[in-house]
Structure 1
């Protein structure tokens, strides 16, 4: 795949759309182009199953007429004048929305930072195939692995071009490379499956195919001969892969749009304790090489690093311009373009690590449950109720022992956040990051 990133035509295109919107009678407008390029290869049992390549340039125009707003999507070939006139006509018959509008001009980024998000390495399909095959081969070589669910490798890039009628014009592009493999161990009803993957912005930072395959095989074999355990109150330890989901639930609960709609269980908790006093949660859109970094948001604002939760106390919501206005606040540059709309999102969010290693925390647990996978959709973001199917390993006298499956863990996210103890082992190669998390007092439903 060629990582060609010449976006000059898209810059001209979005600028022309904004100009056409003003001529058509819009009081304000912005236009965005989202560029995507990707190629991938998937293999299974030594044979290529699919090879895919995709390219797209999606353009949208948003216009404001008074307090009325309308958005239209387009292709790069659409006529700017026709598109703008249609958007303005739609806006004039739309209901008024007092919270919509462009961001305050004083908040706009005055320059676009280079966050080292683009690696121009070209990865041909043959290399993607070789990497996928090597990962699968390494996984199948692990004793106890009986079959493959498939292996893959991909390379791609994505970028954003934004123009607004109050003078902002900016663009950025980022690359993404990944490798993954999934295998099966055991036979019949005793089969188990697990996986390993690596996803990075720079190609050289990827874990090797052999390491990914070996870890996938070892994770899968460890799960064989799983048992159920007795129902009761237990201390639950979430490995980082699963702990990232807990961080994601927290991000959703402090999203300004959910707070404005009153669909978050933390909607009345600003300035109050929402987590254990040892918990600090950061969000940094400007991290160099960060997996979710961006030099400006979907409205042209350069967000700054924030402590969303400090020592357990809630400090900020994630805010776009419209969500901030609805809450009587000021945006903090977390607006993301989603189709033709702007919604607040986290960027590089992390539950910051604690002082003790996972081994030290687990060593202090007489009996507990080390969770390596959760499934099911049992999370209610309005009430905080949490109930997920889970599998992992039983902890006995500070040691991880036999595998456990077919159990359910349950609590309320409010109580879970207040009971979190984070370990020291964070991996920041994910847009949502968390270390191993220990949560006391959850209910385990088993035998």
Structure 2
């Protein structure tokens, strides 16, 4: 990094400030209090057509305080974690709490649920990267893509590298802290033929910079993805099998998790309310989270309530086995927290995987979707409708690119119609999955 960042010193400082905020809240009359504090620092560079476009050095910090007066709750935050700011934030949170109505579900998670195992999950891998080195890597990535025949121009290559510390503490006496890092490199290119221009991209992302793909590999992959989209046409309209590329299949899992999240459930804003135990997928499908996985993108030993995280199985033998609950949403639903304040961490499939070529063969005739547009997912009904682009498949083989069409269905029917999952697993994010083949959806093209 180009600016000094001592993660150990920052961690000690944030822990001290969190303790100060807790003590001050108690002194000023709070019955309970919780504090979240963080500091992040990073570098980001972008280049385009061989020239540097932006160089950004960032440093962000903040502190958030939530206090409880009886069952009245008040929250306030600041981007300044200095002593004077801490007092102002605590006083503001208390003033809010004293003017809000009582909420029977308000309060800290139960003390006995606080995390006791706080191992080093090896998610902090700082990168001693100078600005000049970052620019050089981005330029190398873009040059590799621009060098491919057929590539007309570039929308740029970007590199980002950052590290940070987060701390959570509450008046149960719990204090947890974690250092983390994240690094990525991406490239977006433009190709053109007599049919028009096409754009696509690729990227690499990891906690540890040594696990990033080489810049040249990212640029070449971006070029390959862009060139294969030339000559796109609109597909036929009909009820057809649809295969989702791994990055888009992860989005289907994200829609599932949103539907089983406590907030959606207690607001009755989910098509999966009161569905525990119901079959949603084929019996061979399962889904779990592994929050203590060493080195993974979303690993943490405690959730945003300070509760010990644990392996959870959300789908077992095709059935909905668990909701995703924080302490608050669990109380609203009359249940126990699942250690998921802040969401699920490191979702992994429990399912047999099939080579992608075999899935295409099983599809026969249909559409492979590699890009989605719009936000056409209704969490209340599960209705699904998105603009799409991808490839036409005939006799189990990719024939030509397609664009300007929509795919529509219902999430529950799509889950039940899951034919198979590819072995082409994308491991760049917190959701690891391969391609998903759905038996039938409405494809609206020409």
Q: Which category describes the TM-score, using the shorter chain as reference length?
A: over 0.9
Q: 1:76 aligns with which of 81, 93, 107?
A: 81
* Contact 1:285 1:293 survives alignment (8 Å): yes
Deviation at 1:3, TM superposition (A): 4.5
Give the aligned partner of residue 255 of structure 2: 249
Distance between the aligned counterparts of 2:90 and 2:183, measured in 1? Answer: 37
Deviations 1:374-428 (A, max 9, x none): 1111111111111111111111111111111111110000100111121223233
Deviation at 1:128, TM superposition (A): 1.1
Give the aligned partner of residue 440 of structure 1: 439
1:13 aligns with 2:17: yes
Deviation at 1:78, TM superposition (A): 4.5
Give the aligned partner of residue 226 of structure 1: 232
Give the aligned partner of residue 128 of structure 1: 134
* Contact 2:155 2:190 survives alignment (8 Å): yes
Deviation at 1:124, TM superposition (A): 1.3
Deviation at 1:63, TM superposition (A): 0.4
**Residues 125, 96 of structure 1: alpha-carbon distance in 2 compared, 3 angstrom cutoff:** same
Q: TM-score normalized by structure 1?
A: 0.95
Give the aligned partner of residue 359 of structure 2: 361
Deviation at 1:158, TM superposition (A): 3.0
- Aligned residue runs from structure 1 range 28-107, under 5 A: 28-74=32-78, 75-79=80-84, 80-107=86-113
Distance between the aligned counterparts of 2:358 and 2:118, measured in 1? Answer: 44
Distance between the aligned counterparts of 1:209 and 1:371, measured in 2? Answer: 26
Give the aligned partner of residue 341 of structure 1: none
Deviation at 1:36, TM superposition (A): 1.4
* Contact 1:384 1:414 survives alignment (8 Å): yes
Give the aligned partner of residue 401 of structure 1: 399
Task: Provide structure 2 residue ranges, at least 5 long, that are not aligned to the other structure.
Answer: none
Deviations 1:154-196 (A, max 9, x none): 1002321111111001110110010000000005861000000
- Aligned residue runs from structure 1 range 277-292, under 5 A: 277-292=283-298
Distance between the aligned counterparts of 1:171 and 1:318, measured in 2? Answer: 23
- Aligned residue runs from structure 1 range 149-160, under 5 A: 149-160=155-166
How many pairs align?
A: 439
**Residues 351, 390 of structure 1: alpha-carbon distance in 2 compared, 3 angstrom cutoff:** farther
Distance between the aligned counterparts of 1:407 and 1:87, measured in 2? Answer: 49
Give the aligned partner of residue 191 of structure 2: 185
Distance between the aligned counterparts of 1:203 and 1:168, measured in 2? Answer: 32
Deviation at 1:316, TM superposition (A): 0.9
Distance between the aligned counterparts of 2:30 and 2:38, measured in 1? Answer: 23
**Residues 378, 82 of structure 1: alpha-carbon distance in 2 compared, 3 angstrom cutoff:** closer
Distance between the aligned counterparts of 1:188 and 1:107, measured in 2? Answer: 63
* Contact 1:3 1:120 survives alignment (8 Å): no
Distance between the aligned counterparts of 1:144 and 1:350, measured in 2? Answer: 38
- Give the secondary structure class of the aligned counterpart of 1:294: coil
**Pairwise CA RMSD:** 1.4
**Residues 82, 409 of structure 1: alpha-carbon distance in 2 compared, 3 angstrom cutoff:** closer
* Contact 2:126 2:163 survives alignment (8 Å): no
Structure 1 stretches of at least 4 aligned residues deviating more than 6 Å after TM superposition? none
Distance between the aligned counterparts of 1:365 and 1:85, measured in 2? Answer: 61
- Aligned residue runs from structure 1 range 426-437, under 5 A: 426-437=425-436
* Contact 2:111 2:172 survives alignment (8 Å): yes
* Contact 1:200 1:291 survives alignment (8 Å): yes
Distance between the aligned counterparts of 1:82 and 1:228, measured in 2? Answer: 59
Deviation at 1:289, TM superposition (A): 0.8
Task: Provide structure 1 residue ranges, at least 5 long, that are not aligned to the other structure.
Answer: 337-344
